[in-house]
Structure 1
Amino acid sequence: MVKLTALQIQSLNLEHLSSLLELDQVCFDGLWTMDGYRRELESPNSHFLGIFPPFSSELLGMGCFWSILEEAHITILAVHPQYQHQGLGQALLYSLLKAASDLGLERATLEVRVSNQAAISLYQKFGFKTAGKRPRYYKDNHEDALILWLSDLQYPNFEQTVNDWYKMVSDRLAKSAWTLSLDETLDCK
């Protein structure tokens, strides 16, 4: 039997700033600046999570959402290229959506490049639906963005949905010898 390695998901803070910049550079070639990450980490409406291997400060992935009224607006989701296709993106998205639900938010939304089929597929696994398109949304190449929505984060059956997602995520991670361990002190402000 393969021994599973427990991934840690935890809230990020200013101590993680350099790791966020390094991951951003690898994943997005410098999408956000140091000041941008600092503002996100300091904002009371911003909820930033990171995924780490056990007993390590190596940031493998990151995800963030803004609390806007009753909505979680997912602003960033990234996994280091070395660790992609192992279920870490699913683990981060699951954690973001669970945190949003735990905060009492009712729905989630995000924008994604129309060409990013891997990300679109990930979001669809979690029930996101296309709500529209933002023409020429991305400044680097003027690519359109799809607007994706997920409702019902506070409906009674959502707890079962969260349990189903946890099983889906756990099964996917196990294929790559990972398991998920959520930080008990996960603080989403």
Structure 2
Amino acid sequence: MVQIRQQLAIEPMREADVPTVQEIERHIFTTPWPRNAYYRELSSRNSAYYIVLRREIDEGSEIIGYGGMWRMYDEAHVTTIGVRRDLHHAGFGRILFAGLVQAAYDMGAKWITLEVRTSNDGAMRMYEGFGFKVIGRRKGYYTDNGEDAIVMWSDSIYSPRFRRAYEANLERIDVTVRGLRREAGPTRDG
């Protein structure tokens, strides 16, 4: 058997990417964002950062996932992350999340926060593998079914513990990723 490494690229989301992102979102979430939400987010470049994960194919490339975050002072808050349903459990969520962590470093954030559905055990385990901790629960957070959200926070992303977890996750990514640095961000007291 010959295994060929996939060529992937993490890139900033562009307006032209929004229809594809929304198509992915419609297949994986019961309540996708409103049609104009991504366009608004993309116009907030000072506080919002959105990425897409592209996979090279014979005809060029295709978007297979996306993610986004807001910067609020020294915190980066993950607002969304999604991978095409037919590619779930293939490691692409980890690649996207590593891209968001790198974006948090690039933004100068000190912590990363997020919410995850209580039913999404796989995502929670992945976030815990990046060093995130459960710090609370938001009752009835998800409007489609009233499901609670688990609130998770990272340690300082500059702490040795977090950096080790981030590096370990980068080692698990068995693909060549353009647009994702191998180092875990600049040194900073934390």
> What TM-score do you get using the length of structure 2 for normalisation?
0.86
Counterpart of 1:123 in structure 2 is 127
- The residue number in structure 2 matching 1:26 is 27
2:165 aligned with 1:168: no
Q: Which amino acid aligns with 2:111?
A: R
Q: For residue 12 of structure 1, what is the aligned residue in structure 2?
A: 13
Matches within 5 A, 1:71-150: 71-150=75-154
Structure 2: runs of 5+ lacking an equivalent: 181-190
Report the RMSD for the aligned CA atoms in angstroms.
1.9
- Contact 1:79 1:88 survives alignment (8 Å): yes
Distance in 2 of aligned mates of 1:117 and 1:159: 23
1:67 offset after TM fit, Å?
0.5
Q: What does the per-residue CA deviation read over 1:17-54, in whole Å, with 9 as the maximum and x for residues that have no partner?
A: 11111111111144102211111111121111111112
Match of 1:181 among 172, 177, 184: 177
Can you give the 5+ residue segments of structure 1 that lack an aligned partner in the other structure?
171-178, 185-189
Structure 1 residue identity aligned to 2:80: I
Q: How much has 1:183 moved relative to structure 2?
A: 2.7
- Partner residue of 2:51? 49
Contact 1:20 1:37 in 2 (8 A): no
**Structure 2: how far apart are the matches of 1:5 and 1:119?**
23
User: What is the DSSP-based 3-state SS (H/G/I as helix, E as strand, rest coil) of the residue aligned with 1:54?
Assistant: strand
* Large movers: runs of 4+ above 3 Å: 155-162
Q: CA deviation at 1:162?
A: 3.4
Tell me the distance in 1 between the aligned counterparts of 2:163 and 2:115.
25
Cα-to-partner distance string for 1:95-146 (whole Å, 9 max, x where unaligned): 1001101221100001111111121111111111000001111111111111
**Displacement of 1:165:** 2.1
Instruction: Kindly provide the amino acid, as one letter, of the partner of residue 135 in structure 1.
Output: K
Query: Residue 58 of structure 1 aligns to which amino acid in structure 2?
Result: E
- Paired residues in the alignment total 177
Partner SS, residue 153 of structure 2: strand
Question: What is the rounded CA distance, in whole Å, between the counterparts of 1:112 and 1:16 in structure 2?
Answer: 24
Percent sequence identity over matched residues? 31
Distance 1:102 1:156, change over 3 A: farther
TM-score normalized with structure 1 length:
0.86
Check conservation: 1:104, 1:154, Cα contact below 8 A. Answer: no
